[in-house]
Structure 1
Amino acid sequence: MNPKLFATLQYLTPQHTLSRAAGWLAETRAPWIKDRFTGWFVNKYGVDMSEAQESDYTAYANFNDFFTRALVDGARPITEGTTALACPADGHVSQLGEIHNGRIFQAKGQDYSLLELVGGDPQLAAQFTGGEFATVYLSPKDYHRVHMPVDGVLRSMVHVPGQLFSVNQVTTEQVPRLFARNERVVCLFDTPAGPMAMVLVGAMIVASIETVWAGLVTPHKRRIRTTHYGDSKPITLKKGEEMGRFKLGSTVILLFGADRVKWLESLAAESPVRMGEHFGDIAQADA
């Protein structure tokens, strides 16, 4: 399909209605529906079931359980070293680099506002002005749990309602401000590299976004909702621990402050990545 036509059709599609319908299908436990659909999905996208703790796709209660499947121990080794950053998810790099003048590069001819991405909070955005970003796209065949790139203490979570455009390469090249328009969850952590935001971006037919501390993150009267986490019972996650998951795939955006991290020089747009592998390093202060 012509890329411009594909993008235009998404403007006309009832995105949330379609996503709710997909959510129903993904939750059904009727074997004649879920087994046939899951089997078609495995064959269509070439899913490697040998990595899964449960390799029989018919054994999953529903499609969402299959889609968010756990992997066998050791399938994703976590890069070692206190300064090494681990890749947060399977997929490929969409883009990465410096945040210039409060703008984040999306694709050729497209960028979007850092302030808009994080929900319009100037104080939150200011922590990443002049910093670094990395966008990782999870394709349908990928492992869909998201893990910590570094040790972190959760400070806040912002749920930003929005649209549900697809986040594949064709759409990122055609739809302006895509990641700042789609529904998303912004998780702010204190880390050895300073403030870090992990932005989980929803997409067309993504049934839901979950975090390990809050469970299913659901819309709240279609307005931005911020939850702060105090010091009395801190939520601390170690590098490599799961922090969230997508029920049907999407995108993760990492944000760090200025002069805090350096991505691996070998990484570029379209680089394939796997959760846990070496993704970058915490910048060392000059002696």
Structure 2
Amino acid sequence: MSKIDPWLARLSHLLPQHALSRVVHRLARIESPQLQPLLRAFVRRFGLNMDEAAEPDLTTYPSFNALFTRALREDARPLEGDANTLVSPADSRVSAAGRIEGGQIFQAKGHHYTVRELLGGEDELAEAFRHGHFVTLYLSPRHYHRLHMPLTGTLTHMIHVPGRLFSVAPRIVRHVPRLYARNERVVTCFDTPVGPMAMALIGAQNVGSIETVWAGEVTPPHGREISVSEYPDRAVTLERGAEMGRFNLGSSVVLLLPDHPLKLAEHLTPETEVRVRSTLGQFY
């Protein structure tokens, strides 16, 4: 751990987080052929594997946002396991994983936050995960930015919680208490064959937007109130491995699972790289 990390965390409190993110939102959507040298530099800098992309030709991407949210080839991320296999929702790096203890989720050494906080104060929804399981995944700028379903599920709620936009880089997460419960986020809740599942899509510094396949762009928001959308007609059902949303640039996903017998994969240790649709665990 660098000695400068605590100072970077303190500095992040002072930054105009939302203003910077609105600027990034606009810049990332500028379309111009003159961006091509910058796109090529970005690919080199972060080591993007364009051979995996559905469209590997960089000249077909008119903006940074188009490159960030690029689709992959159908065979690039095969779906692992069977219907009871929990798969990764993203190409990402593991931040933390394990049991939820009495409604408390582990963030980093010395830091926890509650399920209730993460879900925007929704007590009834939070109770379902009080003794469940969680997996926190970090997406860096080099990762594939579309999100996919860990299990087959039917949408029940979507919660938009306004908040801060601290960086979710591991060096900052270690020094900002309750970061995931303080940052802006979109929480999507599903009924699955093993019980309720929630995916908290965490906003972050320079994340210009969060989208879902059923609602489109949910952030940047209008207003500062928590909004809850319910789906009583249960019209949205997504299969395990199907696309459910996307980030612009990079952020984190906190996956909440019920108190159902689950064996998490042994490789789910901090800093481990996982690929979308790869095995995170097995329900039994």
Normalising by the smaller structure, the TM-score range is over 0.9
**TM-score, normalization: structure 1?**
0.95
How far apart, in 2, do the equivalents of 1:220 and 1:122 lie? 25
Q: How many residues align?
A: 281
How far apart, in 2, do the equivalents of 1:258 and 1:196 lie? 10
- Name 1:106's counterpart in structure 2: 107
CA-to-aligned-CA distance 1:163-213 (integer Å, 9 cap, x gap): 100001101101000000111011000001100001100100000000000
**TM-score, normalization: structure 2?**
0.96
- Name 1:134's counterpart in structure 2: 135
Question: Displacement, 1:260?
Answer: 4.2
Secondary structure at 1:188 match in 2: strand
Aligned 1:81-230 pairs, distance under 5 A = 81-218=82-219, 219-230=221-232
- Name 1:31's counterpart in structure 2: 33
How far apart, in 2, do the equivalents of 1:262 and 1:90 lie? 21
How far apart, in 2, do the equivalents of 1:75 and 1:139 lie? 19
Among all aligned residue pairs of Structure 1 and Structure 2, give the percentage whose two residues are the same amino acid.
Answer: 50
Which structure 2 residue ranges, 5 or more long, are not aligned?
A: none
Question: Displacement, 1:58?
Answer: 2.7
The code of the aligned residue for 1:228 comes to: E
Secondary structure at 2:8 match in 1: helix
Question: Displacement, 1:140?
Answer: 1.0
**1:64 paired to 2:81:** no
Question: Displacement, 1:9?
Answer: 1.2
How far apart, in 2, do the equivalents of 1:24 and 1:37 lie? 16
- Name 2:22's counterpart in structure 1: 20
How far apart, in 1, do the equivalents of 2:88 and 2:152 lie? 13
Question: Displacement, 1:215?
Answer: 0.2
The code of the aligned residue for 2:228 comes to: T
How far apart, in 1, do the equivalents of 2:42 and 2:140 lie? 12
- Name 2:43's counterpart in structure 1: 42
Q: Structure 1 runs of 4+ off > 6 angstroms?
A: none
How far apart, in 1, do the equivalents of 2:37 and 2:105 lie? 41
How far apart, in 1, do the equivalents of 2:261 and 2:213 lie? 26
- Over the residues paired in the alignment, what is the CA RMSD in angstroms? 1.2
Which structure 1 residue ranges, 5 or more long, are not aligned?
A: none
The code of the aligned residue for 1:105 comes to: F
CA-to-aligned-CA distance 1:72-95 (integer Å, 9 cap, x gap): 120000013121111110011100
The code of the aligned residue for 1:193 comes to: V
The code of the aligned residue for 1:190 comes to: D
Question: Displacement, 1:262?
Answer: 2.5
